[in-house]
Structure 1
């Protein structure tokens, strides 16, 4: 048996990278019996049959696992959000950030289409950029034909397994073409009637970029909170998590509890009102979720 990493999953096959070559593998039936499935990013043992075919025999433990997109062992996520067409949404961005925090995946925010903003719109967006940077998130802004983008992003991706993700139509394929020009991925125009793009990526694949790996992933409009409990939500908002240590009651949900340090911080402007409102909205969504048995 040899050990390798699944770099691509397509049509029931898993393509395992080992010593410079990709081996087309099937998963053993025992994985289905256990309710397990190999994922892109998995470290696996496999047996080779013939020149370029084989079977996956063992999946090594993962340090994290995303459901949508289905990928394992991710270090960081490059979240691509357009500032216009479709318009920038802090609510949608916070959904992505919360789920990534829950999986211990480092988010990097990349804002595209900056050239489409009027001066007044740009000033408003700059305030949001400052807010997220204050929390501790890296924010990169870019525009069409930005010649500095590759220089900015390339060092960030080295030595890491990164996910490229975001809402459809925000420019993910264009961004990937900038990072890896030889891919020449097809990009689609925005659907004017829907206000969003038609996604062009059909599978998950890890692509070499220097000594790092970048995953292009199918587009989706939001993340779900299926794996997050309401007691955990505090820790998915870094600025709320740090302040919550000063709440009077352990396990404070920052709703109506007395002497809540987080509510005081919102009143004093230390936590932004919109981030706190998003926290409350997500908390309600989790509370309303049907019980799982």
Structure 2
């Protein structure tokens, strides 16, 4: 039986890339029975008599999957956050980073719209970028208008499945158009009344850029930690995880425990206070989550 990768899901059809061909497939009823929903990025086994009449028979094991956006087997996530319009938000970025880290997807931070910043705003953004780099993240400053950072982004895309995600209106589609002008993805300006961009991307689709596959995903601005447990959160902040190895108590949550090396690092300025504050905020949110039965 032939094998391929789902590159688009739309209106009950799954478009499977097999070699140089894309086959339009439906899912067999067995998926509904077993509560398996094929996702973009899935490696599948299928059968097809022609390019428009195929059936997916089996979804192979996934190495990871995201819920929002719904996609599987992702190698890395480009988290696109604008320097301005909307303003750069470390709190929202840290939420995305936790989700991505928890799903064992490599995050790469892209800060867009550098061309719109004032001198003071640019200085502030560069300071944040340096702090995230020190925490262990890859950070690229970009502008789709001046092509700043575009070549650097392309070097990371090669041979990978990548997700572009972030708050609405931060310029994801504009950046993808800069990476590959042939895409001509639809973009909308920020709504000045709402302070956020219109949703111009309606579905998840993997598109070819260079020798990689990239998903342009619907923008979204809220995330919950429904799958994350309190003891997991530690691993989603690399600099906190590193310092926690030296805490006196195993399983230290870095709240009120004595001889906590994480709190010590915050006091010494080795970990930015806003990162620790977000960790504590997220930890509280997870602890107060209603139990699921």
TM-score bracket relative to the smaller structure:
over 0.9
* 1:40 to partner: Cα distance: 0.3
1:154 is matched with which residue? 154
TM-score, scaled relative to structure 1: 0.97
* 1:270 to partner: Cα distance: 1.2
- Matched-pair contact (CA < 8 Å) for 2:4–2:18: yes
2:112 is matched with which residue? 112
Distance change in 2, residues 1:212/1:25 (3 Å): same
1:289 is matched with which residue? 289
How far apart in 2 are the matches of 1:240 and 1:149? 28
1:158-204 Cα shifts (integer Å, max 9, x gaps): 01110011100000111111112112111111100111100111111
1:57-206 equivalence runs, <5 A = 57-206=57-206
* 1:211 to partner: Cα distance: 1.6
2:218 is matched with which residue? 218
- Matched-pair contact (CA < 8 Å) for 1:73–1:161: yes
- Matched-pair contact (CA < 8 Å) for 1:6–1:42: yes
How far apart in 2 are the matches of 1:50 and 1:187? 35
How far apart in 2 are the matches of 1:144 and 1:175? 5
How far apart in 2 are the matches of 1:133 and 1:95? 17
1:48 is matched with which residue? 48
Q: Secondary structure at the match of 1:177?
A: helix
Count of equivalent residues: 293
How far apart in 2 are the matches of 1:130 and 1:37? 40
* 1:148 to partner: Cα distance: 4.3
Distance change in 2, residues 1:50/1:147 (3 Å): closer
1:15 is matched with which residue? 15
* 1:51 to partner: Cα distance: 4.1
Is there any run of 5+ residues in structure 1 with no aligned partner, and where? none
Q: Secondary structure at the match of 2:220?
A: coil
How far apart in 2 are the matches of 1:155 and 1:117? 25
TM-score, scaled relative to structure 2: 0.97
How far apart in 2 are the matches of 1:70 and 1:6? 12
Which 4+ stretches in 1 moved above 4 angstroms? none
How far apart in 2 are the matches of 1:148 and 1:276? 31
How far apart in 2 are the matches of 1:126 and 1:149? 14
How far apart in 2 are the matches of 1:120 and 1:48? 58
- Matched-pair contact (CA < 8 Å) for 2:173–2:187: yes
How far apart in 1 are the matches of 2:51 and 2:277? 57
Is there any run of 5+ residues in structure 2 with no aligned partner, and where? none
* 1:10 to partner: Cα distance: 0.4
1:268 is matched with which residue? 268
How far apart in 1 are the matches of 2:188 and 2:81? 16
Distance change in 2, residues 1:284/1:9 (3 Å): same
- Matched-pair contact (CA < 8 Å) for 2:147–2:178: no
